Structure 1
Amino acid sequence: MARKMLIDGELDKTSEEEIHYDFDLFVIGAGSGGVRASRFSAQHGAKVGICELPFHPVSSEVVGGVGGTCVIRGCVPKKILVYGASFGPELEDARNYGWEVNERVDFNWKKLLHKKTEEIVRLNGIYKRLLANAGVKLFEGEGKVVGPNDVEVIQLDSTKIRYSAKHILIATGSRAQRPDIPGQELAITSDEALSLEELPKRAIVLGGGYIAVEFASIWRGMGATVDLCFRKELPLRGFDDEMRAVVARNLEGRGINLHPRTSLTELVKTENGIKVRTDHGEELIADVVLLATGRAPNTKRLNLESVGVELDEKTGAVKVDAYSRTNIPSIWAIGDVTNRMNLTPVALMEGTCFAKTVFDGKPTKPDHNVVPCAVFCIPPLSVVGLSEEQAIEQANGDVLVFTSTFNPMKNTVSGRQEKTIMKLVVDAETDKVLGASMCGPDAPEIIQGIAIAIKCGATKEQFDSTVGIHPSAAEEFVTMRSVTRQVSAGKPKTNL
């Protein structure tokens, strides 16, 4: 097969001496991105091999599983636990709807854990079948890059086998990191949090990102006492400030103890649990301490630097160009290992674009603009496009902000005091909708549809001319007529 390289966005058609490879493509990492790239490349006629560590719910340097973090120890099991945690408050809300819940209600953590494990085992099998049905050869073991066109797979029996490939794709994702705190070995990460044998009665969570607030919501919904410690004034740094404040208010309203501008200084094992000291001199006691302070790209054991692949000095992420190619023409990388936009659907998009670029003759750059996302706290937050702060920073002129805060119809009968807030950010000159945010029930389901409109460049006038679905929360996005505030680029917010 003649070599073809991507040069200035186009595949080089120059024929060179034909070289025989074991595979047209060998992928290291069978998470969402790696599986997508493998399958689609095979559908374009490529001979594909892929390797992944053996299955285990809790990852390490020697175990993993087909499906990767999202399927096995991330998005999927987390969402199952979110569903489980939501039923407790729902039972309370049901009383005002006429449901008499007089008997004692018990929560069986082990039953939910068993159901969760059953589901991820099922999905692990489905992903394996997807690869097999596409004709992709799966190898179970640890993969390393040993040359520009060579990989080594260390099998379960420690046997090492080398394979050659015209293209190598790195899709090994990322792993949870532990901060350097005395006693940190007493704590757990999100991996272990999804597989705890016992539900904690007292939990301390360190971190202000989506993983931290999600697990705080999960454990609180299941009845635990939860303390959430984070370094900033509000959780969810990087999200719209107004929405961050709403999430914080909701977390407190659900009974979570917030500790802003707080770090942990020491963890100590005691007879009564884990004693945690903060930098404010507080002492807290917990059954479980979750460290949710970030993740790092999985590159340490790949041997990439020895073959010349450039890595980010600070994070260890694989450096890639707009087409996901590294500085070594035959080696590519997608997903969290590149530390571009660490979301599962983004890894899927990057995998699709890679297959089109390399094996379908259609050079395609992944588009990281207008990517919707959700934080599955209870109730959830979902956003797409620019936050108000980002719009003000990037705008050439004025920015119009439309907001709607209301009591969801369900809460008017249940009595729950928890508002939903929606927000649209609009360019005053062009009338183009730059961003949308929502915190409230069903936010991710609603924002997904809004994302299509914003991706297509919809204007506020087009939002306003769209007929709403009544009665629904979603209709608020097409009925916000009054400007909440108008802000000029680089100037503070001014309420109208």
Structure 2
Amino acid sequence: MKFDYDLLVIGAGPGGLAASERAAGYGARVAIAEQDSVGGTCVIRGCIPEKLMSFAAEFSDNSQVAAGYGWNQAECAFDWQQFIAAKEREIHRLSQVHNQKLEKAGVALIKGKATFVDAHTLDVAGRKITADKILIAVGAKDVKPEIPGSENIITSSQLFNLKQQPKHIAVIGGNYIPVKLAGILNNLGCQVTQIFLEDHILSAFDKDIALAVEEGMTKRGIQILENTAVKEVKRVGDELDLILSGKNANILSVDTVLFARCRTPNNSGLGLEKAGIQLQSGSIVVDEYNQTTQANIFAVGDCINRINFTPVAIAQGRAFADSQFGNNPHTVCYEYVPSTVSSHPQAATVGLSEAEAHEKLGDVRCYCSRFHPLLHSLTNRDEKTLVKLVVDSHSDRVLGAHMVGEGAIEIIQCLALALRVGATKKHFDEAIGIHPSIAEEFLTLR
């Protein structure tokens, strides 16, 4: 049977873009279907706008630090509307860059929602298109809690497009997404209350890291309400009343409520059943080569719900293209994938937490240091940096590296490579660092 394309990709997010461009580079006839702007969640309503907002928030810290170094403090105020407009221009520019890359690679962009007709045929905005292989890369979507008044709650996607800056915002959730948004909004001048069910924030992270971030957020003025649930959100004039239960049962009045605790695979409405594609708990079932239960159909990214990070989706997309079109079958290794919290203070981690290492190996050693960074030696801020290594007592291999403080994201990114190639504590001890720097603290832990 002759097909319109060798590969048809559903979704122009990071995974779909990476797969389509690489497959086209191998000579495949490729098309990509997208109903929204090119770039996916990451570019349009995820990590890029979030990071830009985090940069904006950092200037609040910088201005406070500057005073300690002799800079006269001038009147400084954040303009929400100006930032939103600038952010939109940058997102549009990035989306256009991805459009140009697709055109240069020879990938056809087909605008419209794609649904399956059968295992080799998609309906895209009323047009029937056939392909030898199909890749699903539709990502994930925001969800709201199923509570009365949820229509009054915004998601992270909506946050980045608010016309007015919140005065007092309640952030629901304690994982890395709501934690970093709470820290960003606080630094931008919003009054922030964070509400979550767990004993402390970042329950999936090393506990020392989680507690250090929580302490830093509290010092910055964020109200933390742990072991607490939101039962209902009522609109009262211009205010929203949150009916709270649990440890902090009460009524909290705010002007904005943000739910950013979780996202769900964006797999509904694709007609997957017509192609014989199996789901498990809403996620597309794939094997180690990202092949679904239909031999010619594959899936990558958040819709398969493995590690939902942009670099992982890109790696999956490229591995798929290499395997199917480049005569180079290989899989993605999910060990030592670093994760970050662009919170204030920022944190990053790679590898096993202390608790995970104890559970997996039993006998481990931990090296930890908490100190006042040199940057704040001339300021009045009670700022602490924490660095931690988790080490296998038998092999001396470093199993985890964790950090809270300025530079955590960039430092842990580099340490991820060291851990992946099997660096030992002895290697860390023998390495010579750059002085004075925060990164050298990882090399002096005893």
Q: TM-score scaled to structure 1, two decimals? A: 0.88
Q: How far 1:222 moved relative to its partner?
A: 1.1
Confirm or deny: 8 A CA contact 1:371 1:385 kept in the other structure: yes
The AA in structure 2 aligned to 1:92 is Q
Per-residue CA distance 1:383-438 (angstroms, 9 max, x = gap): 1111111111111x510101111111111112211211011011011010111000
Per-residue CA distance 1:175-214 (angstroms, 9 max, x = gap): 1111111001011000010111000110001011111111
The AA in structure 1 aligned to 2:261 is T
1:257 corresponds to 2:223:
yes
Q: Write out aligned runs for 1:128-143 (5 A).
A: 128-143=99-114
Aligned to 1:414: 379
1:93 corresponds to 2:65:
yes
Aligned to 1:304: 272
The AA in structure 1 aligned to 2:97 is I
Indicate the SS of the match to 1:244: helix
Instruction: Please point out which of 271, 279, 283 is paired with 2:245.
Output: 279
Confirm or deny: 8 A CA contact 2:175 2:204 kept in the other structure: no
Aligned to 1:240: 206
Aligned to 1:340: 306
Q: How far 1:104 moved relative to its partner?
A: 2.8
1:43 corresponds to 2:25:
yes
Instruction: Please point out which of 453, 460, 466 is paired with 2:431.
Output: 466
Instruction: Please point out which of 56, 69, 82 is paired with 1:84.
Output: 56
The AA in structure 1 aligned to 2:426 is E
Confirm or deny: 8 A CA contact 1:166 1:330 kept in the other structure: yes
Indicate the SS of the match to 1:46: coil
The AA in structure 1 aligned to 2:170 is I
| CA distance in structure 2 between the aligned counterparts of 1:466 and 1:414, rounded to whole angstroms | 31
Aligned to 1:157: none
Confirm or deny: 8 A CA contact 1:149 1:167 kept in the other structure: yes
Per-residue CA distance 1:332-367 (angstroms, 9 max, x = gap): 000000001100000010011001110011111111
| CA distance in structure 2 between the aligned counterparts of 1:23 and 1:241, rounded to whole angstroms | 50
1:290 corresponds to 2:258:
yes
Per-residue CA distance 1:295-351 (angstroms, 9 max, x = gap): 000000111023210001x2x110000000001000000000000110000001001
Q: Which runs of 5+ in 1 are unaligned?
A: 1-18, 55-64, 155-159, 482-496
Q: TM-score scaled to structure 2, two decimals? A: 0.98
1:27 corresponds to 2:9:
yes
| CA distance in structure 1 between the aligned counterparts of 2:313 and 2:162, rounded to whole angstroms | 28
Q: Which runs of 5+ in 2 are unaligned?
A: none
| CA distance in structure 2 between the aligned counterparts of 1:417 and 1:68, rounded to whole angstroms | 39
Q: Write out aligned runs for 1:219-238 (5 A).
A: 219-238=185-204
Aligned to 2:89: 118
Q: How far 1:238 moved relative to its partner?
A: 1.1
- The CA RMSD measured in Å over matched residues stands at 0.9
1:193 corresponds to 2:193:
no
Aligned to 1:7: none
Indicate the SS of the match to 1:332: strand
| CA distance in structure 1 between the aligned counterparts of 2:417 and 2:188, rounded to whole angstroms | 35
Indicate the SS of the match to 2:42: helix
Identical aligned pairs, as a percentage? 40
Indicate the SS of the match to 1:279: strand
Confirm or deny: 8 A CA contact 1:326 1:333 kept in the other structure: yes
Indicate the SS of the match to 1:235: coil
Q: Write out aligned runs for 1:127-166 (5 A).
A: 127-154=98-125, 160-166=126-132
| CA distance in structure 2 between the aligned counterparts of 1:52 and 1:392, rounded to whole angstroms | 45
Per-residue CA distance 1:38-67 (angstroms, 9 max, x = gap): 00010011100001113xxxxxxxxxx210
Indicate the SS of the match to 1:45: coil
- Point out the more displaced range, 408-417 or 319-328: 408-417
| CA distance in structure 2 between the aligned counterparts of 1:346 and 1:47, rounded to whole angstroms | 25
| Structure 1 segments of 4+ aligned residues over 3 angstroms from their partners | none
Aligned to 1:73: 45
| CA distance in structure 1 between the aligned counterparts of 2:39 and 2:196, rounded to whole angstroms | 31
Q: Write out aligned runs for 1:339-418 (5 A).
A: 339-395=305-361, 397-418=362-383
Confirm or deny: 8 A CA contact 1:272 1:285 kept in the other structure: no
| CA distance in structure 2 between the aligned counterparts of 1:188 and 1:236, rounded to whole angstroms | 21
Per-residue CA distance 1:47-100 (angstroms, 9 max, x = gap): 00001113xxxxxxxxxx210001111101101101111212321221111111
Q: How far 1:272 moved relative to its partner?
A: 4.2
| CA distance in structure 2 between the aligned counterparts of 1:383 and 1:261, rounded to whole angstroms | 25
Aligned pairs, how many? 444
Confirm or deny: 8 A CA contact 1:305 1:311 kept in the other structure: no
Confirm or deny: 8 A CA contact 2:338 2:350 kept in the other structure: yes
Confirm or deny: 8 A CA contact 1:172 1:337 kept in the other structure: yes
| CA distance in structure 2 between the aligned counterparts of 1:437 and 1:284, rounded to whole angstroms | 34
